């Protein structure tokens, strides 16, 4: 027998080479004919530019320009008008607008009128706003007028289109606000009760006015200074001369499903003068911190000496399966001879939802409000009900009112355990497909955690 090992080793090595080669060829072929991913399904054009061009060509199929544009547009496809020149562009310009306005509230009934604005561009920017309307239920003329003079920012009507970033920038409007602005304003309106309090309350109160019972006949003149400290921080200071008297509240308002409305305290008739300072940090529309300090009377004149403090935070969080988690907290303090409409209170759609509006009134209030909105539409898989789009919600509120009368002196006092009230519930919300500030209509079943006999309350509200 011949000795095999050297030859066998060589053969094995050569065989091994062939095996590796065959395996490699096999892998290469398998990769080449693999069906994983679209890259293998469609031949890749050679070159990045060619590939991008092939994608860009899809845009041509979207717009029927070639077939629907008239001949002169097609013949001069690179039409270049020689319109603006910088010399004229920098000249002062006047712009005006006149628009019809309409509204509705339980006290006023329907309201219609006209809004007008006149704007002078240049430096400074000057803007005059006028509005007048007739309330058919209240049978009164209402109106407001405002003059503002701003430096350091483009006027509100000159929004440069967000083009380069590939989409509109929601923060652009905030950046476009003037750096410094003076304003002088007059108003006579039927104001919703509580509209003087921090902004979350006032916005909700204004928009959810179908739920509200009380309105004030307000006349006010305001002289204000506003300064943008950073792109998201703003400070405002205003001197106001204001007179208010209560309007007769509706006894049986729309969507009134509770018999406890009579508990609501009435507003006071008051003529007051004071300074109002506000500091606002705002990031988008969901995250904000607002501090509001107001002092009236004393050296400033007016019938009542009083001061109020408001501190409010809003934050929005996201979590898997949820569209949003909104957390709002607010602290309000009143001191001196504060009128009823400026005293802290809790109860109603903007804080303790299971309790009637203004169920608790005192010298200080604090509340935390949690709203959880589901991202899942439970009817999504039911084909004939998909259009309903009812969004499930859950919420919980907690808050306390303490101090029977507004504080007369500075002292630290915290709520007792019996002052705290809590409620929780579930609800459904639907988008209201209308233009305007109201985005959602919502129904909640709210359950309060106290010892009362009837603890379930149905709450209807409109939300921004």
Partner 1 sequence: MRTLIPVLLICLRSSPLLANPSPSFVQEDSLPLPTNFRAEYGDAIHIRDLRPKLKDVLAKCIHAERERFSGVQDLAYRDRVRALVIWGDPADTSSRRVVNETVTQNYFRAPDQAWSEPLGSREYDAAKRETKVELDFDTGSSARRLSDLPFFFEDLDRYDFRIDDRRVVMSPAAHDSVGANSGGMQDARVLYQIAFTPRSDFDATPEGWFLVDTSEYRILHFEMRWTDNVPFPAFLKGIDRVVVTRSKHGGVWLDDRIAGVIRLRSLPRFPSRVEFDLRTERVRVNEGVADSLFRARGR
CB of 377 to partner 1, least distance (A): 4
Size of the site for partner 1 (CB under 8 A): 86
Out of 7, 21, 112, 223, point to the residue binding partner 1 (CB under 8 A).
21
Residues contacting 413, CB < 8 A, separation 6+: 364, 402, 403
Out of 14, 389, 405, 455, point to the residue binding partner 1 (CB under 8 A).
389
Q: Does 73 bind partner 1 (CB under 8 A)?
A: yes
Q: Which is nearer to partner 1, 93 or 269 (CB)?
A: 93
Which DSSP letter does residue 262 get? Answer: G
With 0-12 / 13-18 / 19 or more C-beta atoms within 10 angstroms meaning exposed / middle / buried, residue 163 is exposed
* Selected range binding partner 1 among 239-247, 296-304, 412-420, 433-441, rule: CB under 8 A: 433-441
Structure tokens given for 161:
């289109």
In 3D, which of 72, 70, 104 has the Cα closest to residue 436? Answer: 104
Site residues (CB under 8 A) for partner 1, limited to 309-328 = 318, 320, 323
Q: Does 11 bind partner 1 (CB under 8 A)?
A: no
Out of 10, 31, 382, 456, point to the residue binding partner 1 (CB under 8 A).
31
* Selected range binding partner 1 among 2-10, 70-78, 130-138, 352-360, rule: CB under 8 A: 70-78
Q: Which is nearer to partner 1, 122 or 301 (CB)?
A: 122
Q: Are the C-beta atoms of residues 377 and 385 closer than 8 Å to each other? A: no
In 3D, which of 354, 335, 358, 334 has the Cα closest to residue 346? Answer: 358
CB of 113 to partner 1, least distance (A): 23
Q: Are the C-beta atoms of residues 178 and 167 closer than 8 Å to each other? A: no
Out of 3, 67, 259, 453, point to the residue binding partner 1 (CB under 8 A).
67
Site residues (CB under 8 A) for partner 1, limited to 272-311 = none
* Selected range binding partner 1 among 104-112, 171-179, 263-271, 351-359, rule: CB under 8 A: 171-179
Instruction: Using alpha carbons, list the distances in angstroms from residue 74 to 27, 60, 62, 83, 287.
Output: 53, 14, 17, 21, 49
Instruction: Using alpha carbons, list the distances in angstroms from residue 102 to 105, 134, 218, 366.
Output: 11, 9, 19, 35
Instruction: Using alpha carbons, list the distances in angstroms from residue 460 to 41, 376, 428.
Output: 54, 22, 10
CB of 288 to partner 1, least distance (A): 17
If DSSP codes are grouped into helix, strand and coil, which group holds residue 209? Answer: helix
Give the integer Cα–Cα distance in Å for 169 and 394. 31
Out of 1, 39, 75, 299, point to the residue binding partner 1 (CB under 8 A).
39
Site residues (CB under 8 A) for partner 1, limited to 212-241 = none
Torsion of CA 208, 214, 217, 219, to 10 degrees: -60
CB of 112 to partner 1, least distance (A): 21
Give the integer Cα–Cα distance in Å for 150 and 226. 9
If DSSP codes are grouped into helix, strand and coil, which group holds residue 11? Answer: helix
Out of 1, 75, 89, 99, point to the residue binding partner 1 (CB under 8 A).
89
Q: Are the C-beta atoms of residues 249 and 214 closer than 8 Å to each other? A: yes
Out of 169, 260, 413, 450, point to the residue binding partner 1 (CB under 8 A).
169
Q: Which is nearer to partner 1, 165 or 417 (CB)?
A: 165
Q: Does 18 bind partner 1 (CB under 8 A)?
A: no
In 3D, which of 369, 308, 300, 298 has the Cα closest to residue 338? Answer: 308
CB of 402 to partner 1, least distance (A): 37
Site residues (CB under 8 A) for partner 1, limited to 130-159 = 152-154, 158-159
Q: Tell me, residue by residue from 347 to 386, as one string, x for binding to partner 1 by CB under 8 A and - for no binding.
A: --------------------------x-xxx--x-----x
Q: Which is nearer to partner 1, 162 or 260 (CB)?
A: 162
Q: Which is nearer to partner 1, 50 or 97 (CB)?
A: 50
Give the integer Cα–Cα distance in Å for 439 and 432. 5
């Amino acid at each position: 027998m011949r000795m095999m090992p050297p030859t066998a080793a060589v053969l094995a090595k050569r065989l091994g080479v062939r095996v590796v080669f065959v395996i490699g060829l096999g892998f290469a072929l398998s990769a080449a004919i693999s069906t994983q991913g679209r890259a293998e399904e469609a031949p890749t054009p050679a070159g990045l530019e060619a590939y991008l061009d092939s994608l860009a060509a899809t845009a041509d199929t979207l717009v029927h320009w070639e077939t629907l544009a008239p001949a002169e547009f097609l013949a001069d496809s690179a039409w270049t008008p020689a319109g603006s020149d910088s010399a004229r562009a920098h000249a002062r310009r006047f712009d005006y607008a006149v628009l019809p306005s309409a509204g509705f509230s339980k006290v006023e009934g329907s309201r219609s009128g006209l809004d007008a604005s006149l704007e002078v561009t240049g430096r400074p920017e000057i803007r005059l706003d006028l509005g007048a309307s007739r309330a058919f239920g209240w049978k009164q003329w209402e109106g407001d007028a405002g003059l503002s003079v701003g430096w350091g920012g483009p006027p509100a009507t000159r929004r440069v289109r967000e083009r380069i970033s590939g989409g509109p920038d929601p923060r652009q409007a905030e950046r476009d606000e003037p750096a410094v602005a003076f304003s002088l304003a007059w108003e006579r309106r039927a104001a919703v009760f509580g509209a003087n309090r921090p902004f979350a309350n006032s916005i909700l109160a204004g928009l959810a006015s179908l739920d509200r019972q009380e309105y004030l006949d307000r006349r006010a003149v305001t002289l204000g200074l506003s300064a943008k400290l950073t792109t998201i921080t703003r400070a405002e200071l205003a001197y106001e001369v204001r007179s208010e008297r209560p309007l007769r509240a509706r006894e049986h308002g729309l969507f009134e499903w509770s018999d406890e409305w009579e508990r609501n305290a009435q507003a006071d008739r008051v003529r007051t003068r004071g300074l109002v300072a506000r500091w606002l940090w705002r990031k988008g529309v969901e995250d904000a911190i607002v501090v509001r300090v107001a002092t009236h009377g004393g050296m400033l004149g007016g019938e009542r000496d009083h001061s109020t403090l408001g501190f409010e935070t809003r934050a929005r969080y996201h979590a898997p399966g949820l569209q949003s988690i909104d957390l709002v907290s607010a602290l309000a303090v009143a001191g001196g001879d504060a009128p009823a409409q400026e005293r802290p209170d809790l109860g109603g759609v903007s804080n303790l939802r299971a309790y009637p509006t203004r169920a608790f009134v005192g010298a200080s209030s604090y509340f935390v409000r949690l709203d959880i909105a589901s991202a899942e539409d439970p009817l999504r898989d039911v084909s004939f009900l998909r259009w309903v789009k009812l969004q499930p919600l859950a919420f919980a509120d907690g808050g306390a009112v303490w101090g029977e009368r507004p504080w007369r002196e500075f002292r630290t006092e915290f709520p007792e355990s019996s002052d705290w009230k809590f409620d929780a519930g579930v609800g459904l919300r639907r988008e209201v497909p209308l233009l305007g500030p109201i985005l959602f209509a919502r129904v909640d079943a709210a359950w309060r955690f106290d010892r009362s006999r009837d603890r379930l309350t149905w709450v209807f509200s409109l939300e921004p």
